[in-house]
């Protein structure tokens, strides 16, 4: 606190300032004036007290001035006039300027790579998150989950203890076991006590582990959501921008925000904030007509500017729409000619080409340069922001009806309500927004035609395909009842068959690793309670993939057996990368996050090969291979080590343990890996 006396004040003051700004705008709308004024007075008073504690006299005086401006209308019960609203907003802006001055020294001390503490320029909201700390928290919780998975396997010795207790009891009970009178009874009591102690210890340990797993799962979910912020955080700043731009031009403008519940990483919102501010300013300056013009066009006197946030697969779309006059495309054409484009070439440009030209920057349809328009840089900033984020920008306009500018960018992580299902032994999430209904499908309810199977839904036949087939896995055997999820995409319906409906869950969507081969039906991944990566289906790509799968023959018949490989690695990235490579090569893949989990799985299911890391929590890779070689049913399964440990000693120890290959992660080559595996198991 000595190094930064305003550390906690800045956090509180920003929240209070946000409430003041939004409350003043609500006051102007006439939303319960008396209640709004009372609420604003409380917030201003809190800000004043906090400022006095840290001896920021200027902020305290400004908060007091806000109280003075509100006091006369406390009991008026009527709408506050525009002049008073302007005065209040000016005071709020002065407080914001003071906070930015406080942010400057803190931002200078912020380590490189962290999100800055300074407010975003151009009126965009200050979106702050200590991503480094959050990433570390998430990584540690994921590691703890893996450790708990190993601890579960550590309970295996209890079975041996019970067996020993039984052997001891049998020996004591034998007539030849003990000769002295009363000794069998005494030892028998000790055996009973041993059994009871072991049983109680086992019961308590299981309960502790299950509680710890639940807590870790909840903590990890919380950590994930801390990284995600609601898009609604942008709306206050954009509403203020629309109001101020309209006031500067003498036009009345109403702002609407939709899709604020979409949660995205703070860095994405911070990046698009300034671009959206420019888009809103552009909509007011170039779109919304003066009152007389709107009256002549039969429109409402108050212009409308709306910003809508929506998901589009693995991307998010920020759309800024106005109900103004639309872009004067002829003015764009004329501006292009003034910049040197030949008249014949400019005359041949269509609406889409003129729109792209406008987005390119340097062209303005404004007759004069003003504070808001005339330099042709507003839409250029929107385009540059989209390109900087690896996205794109689009413009649609209709003369007399308005214009829409869309900023479409990829997202690193976002929250998604999903229906979780199990298909071909794989847990999969289907976005709930695309799910229409779930069905119970009996074998006789499927109809077969030249294009594949169909099922009846709402009186119509819709395509049916097992979800496992779409994802490249073997579907369940024919002739069994199954569940089906009716998914809608692009107005078309598709029923995907699954083995089990797990439930509804809010998952945090993450992109596939950069080296993982893309799949049209896969939107990304999410982590389950055990830290395992699970697939999230992309409704848009699902239908195309399903069509290809339906054309592959009898959907009800099980496909030929494929070799199954068990990937054992505590690194999420490595597991996903290896799984993607191997599945693309035609293998079925199962994963484990520890040697203990892998050994348990290997005892329950037959595998063709083990792909094993060395350094893992609990049992390491060397020990796993040694124990597998010691069991008759696992002895013949070949094992390959994929590890960062590549010294001669490590290679010798791996060979001694029984590994048939040793691949160094730093020299990982997927072609060589697949070739080596094919040489071993085909």
Lowest-pLDDT range, 262-276, 353-367, 378-392, 618-632? 353-367
Provide mean pLDDT across the span 648-663. 88
Q: Taking 90 as the threshold, does the pLDDT of residue 511 lie above it?
A: no
Contact, 535 vs 579, CB < 8 A? no
pLDDT of residue 419: 92
The one-character DSSP state at 653 is H
**pLDDT(284) > 60:** yes
Give 13-40 pLDDT, tens digit per residue.
Answer: 888 888 888 888 888 877 677 778 888 8
Label the pairing between strands 609-612 and 639-643.
parallel
* Burial status of residue 592 (CB atoms within 10 A of its CB: 0-12, 13-18, 19 or more): buried
Residue 119: phi and psi, rounded to 5, are -65, 150
Q: Which of 327-341, 418-432, 486-500, 586-600 has the lowest mean pLDDT?
A: 327-341
List of residues 6+ apart from 131 with CB closer than 8 A: 114, 115, 227, 266, 267
The per-residue pLDDT for 554 is 34
State the sign of the Cα–Cα–Cα–Cα dihedral 164, 167, 171, 172.
positive
Q: Which of the listed ranges 15-29, 345-359, 511-525 does the model predict with the highest average pLDDT?
A: 15-29
The DSSP code for 514 is: T
Task: Name the phi and psi angles at 423, rounded to 5.
Answer: -135, 120
Q: How many CB atoms within 10 Å of residue 640?
A: 21
* Pick from 643, 631, 635, 639: nearest CA to 668: 643
Task: Report how far residue 146's alpha carbon sits from residue 530's, in angstroms, rounded to the nearest whole number.
Answer: 7
Per-residue pLDDT, averaged over 286-306, amounts to: 92
pLDDT digits (tens, 9 = 90+) for 597-655: 899 888 888 889 999 988 887 788 999 999 998 888 888 899 999 887 778 888 888 88
Tens-place pLDDT, residues 68-93:
888 887 765 556 788 888 888 889 88
Say what the pLDDT of residue 146 is. Answer: 65
Amino acid 110: pLDDT: 44
**Is the pLDDT at 512 greater than 80, yes or no?**
no
**How do residues 401-412 score in pLDDT, each as one tens digit?**
999 999 998 876
Average pLDDT taken over every residue of the chain: 78
Ramachandran angles phi, psi of 452, nearest 5° = 120, -165
- pLDDT over threshold 50, residue 121: no
User: How would residue 374 be classed by pLDDT, with cut points 50, 70 and 90?
Assistant: very low
C-alpha count within 13 angstroms, C-beta hemisphere, residue 546: 26
What is the pLDDT, as a whole number, of residue 562? Answer: 65
Give the model's pLDDT for residue 120. 36
Residue 450 predicted with pLDDT over 90: no
């Amino acid at each position: 606190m000595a190094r930064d006396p305003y550390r906690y004040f800045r956090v509180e003051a920003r929240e209070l300032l946000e409430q003041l700004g939004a409350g003043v705008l609500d006051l102007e709308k006439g939303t319960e004036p008396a209640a709004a004024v009372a609420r604003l007075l409380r917030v201003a008073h809190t800000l004043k007290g906090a400022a006095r504690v840290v001896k920021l006299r200027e902020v305290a005086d400004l908060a007091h001035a806000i109280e003075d401006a509100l006091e006369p209308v406390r009991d008026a019960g009527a709408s506050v006039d525009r002049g008073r609203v302007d005065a209040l907003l000016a005071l709020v802006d002065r407080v914001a300027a003071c906070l930015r001055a406080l942010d400057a020294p803190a931002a200078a001390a912020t380590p490189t790579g962290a999100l800055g503490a300074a407010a975003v320029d151009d009126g965009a909201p200050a979106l702050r998150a200590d991503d480094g700390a959050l990433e570390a928290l998430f990584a540690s919780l994921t590691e703890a989950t893996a450790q708990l998975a190993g601890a579960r396997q550590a309970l295996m010795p209890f079975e041996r203890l019970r067996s020993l207790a039984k052997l001891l009891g049998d020996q004591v009970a034998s007539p030849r076991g003990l000769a002295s009178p009363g000794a069998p009874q005494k030892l028998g009591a000790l055996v009973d006590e041993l059994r009871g102690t072991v049983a109680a210890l086992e019961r308590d340990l299981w309960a502790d582990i299950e509680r710890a797993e639940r807590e870790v799962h909840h903590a990890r979910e919380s950590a994930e959501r801390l990284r995600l912020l609601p898009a609604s955080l942008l709306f206050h700043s954009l509403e203020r921008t629309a109001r101020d731009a309209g006031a500067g031009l003498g036009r009345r403008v109403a702002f609407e925000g939709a899709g604020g519940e979409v949660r995205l990483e703070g860095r994405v919102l911070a990046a698009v904030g300034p671009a959206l501010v420019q888009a809103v300013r552009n909509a007011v300056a170039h779109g919304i007509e003066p009152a007389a013009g709107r009256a002549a066009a039969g429109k409402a006197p108050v212009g409308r500017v709306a910003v809508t946030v929506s998901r589009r697969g693995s991307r998010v779309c920020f759309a800024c729409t106005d109900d103004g006059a639309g872009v004067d495309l002829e003015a764009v054409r004329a501006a292009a000619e003034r910049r040197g484009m030949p008249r014949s070439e400019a005359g041949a440009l269509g609406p889409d080409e003129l729109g792209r030209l406008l987005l390119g920057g340097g062209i303005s349809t404004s007759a004069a340069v003003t504070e808001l328009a005339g330099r042709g840089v507003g839409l250029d900033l929107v385009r540059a922001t989209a390109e900087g984020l690896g996205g794109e920008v689009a413009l649609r306009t209709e003369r007399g009806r308005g214009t829409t500018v869309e900023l479409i960018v990829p997202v690193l992580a976002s929250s998604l309500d999903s229906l979780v299902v199990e298909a071909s032994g794989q847990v999969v999430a289907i976005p709930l927004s695309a799910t229409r209904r779930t069905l119970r499908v009996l074998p006789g309810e499927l109809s077969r035609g030249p294009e594949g199977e169909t099922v009846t839904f709402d009186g119509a036949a819709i395509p049916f395909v097992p979800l496992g087939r779409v994802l490249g896995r073997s579907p369940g055997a024919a002739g069994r009842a199954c569940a089906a999820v009716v998914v809608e995409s692009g107005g078309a319906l598709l029923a995907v068959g699954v083995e089990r409906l797990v439930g509804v869950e809010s998952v945090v969507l993450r992109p596939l690793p950069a080296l993982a081969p893309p799949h049209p039906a896969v939107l990304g991944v999410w982590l389950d309670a055990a830290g395992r990566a699970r697939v999230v289906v992309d409704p848009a790509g699902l239908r195309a993939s399903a069509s290809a799968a339906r054309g592959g023959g009898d959907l009800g018949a099980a496909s030929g057996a494929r070799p199954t490989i068990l990937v054992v690695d505590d690194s999420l990235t490595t597991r996903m990368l290896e799984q993607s490579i191997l599945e693309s090569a035609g293998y079925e893949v199962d994963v484990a996050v520890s040697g203990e989990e892998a050994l348990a799985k290997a005892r329950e299911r037959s595998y063709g090969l083990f792909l094993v890391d060395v350094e893992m929590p609990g049992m390491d890779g060397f020990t796993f291979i040694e124990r597998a070689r010691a069991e008759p049913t696992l002895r013949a399964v070949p094992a390959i080590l994929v590890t960062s440990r590549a010294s001669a000693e490590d290679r010798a120890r791996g060979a001694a343990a029984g590994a048939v290959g040793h691949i160094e992660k730093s020299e990982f080559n997927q072609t060589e890996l697949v070739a080596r595996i094919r040489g071993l198991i085909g």
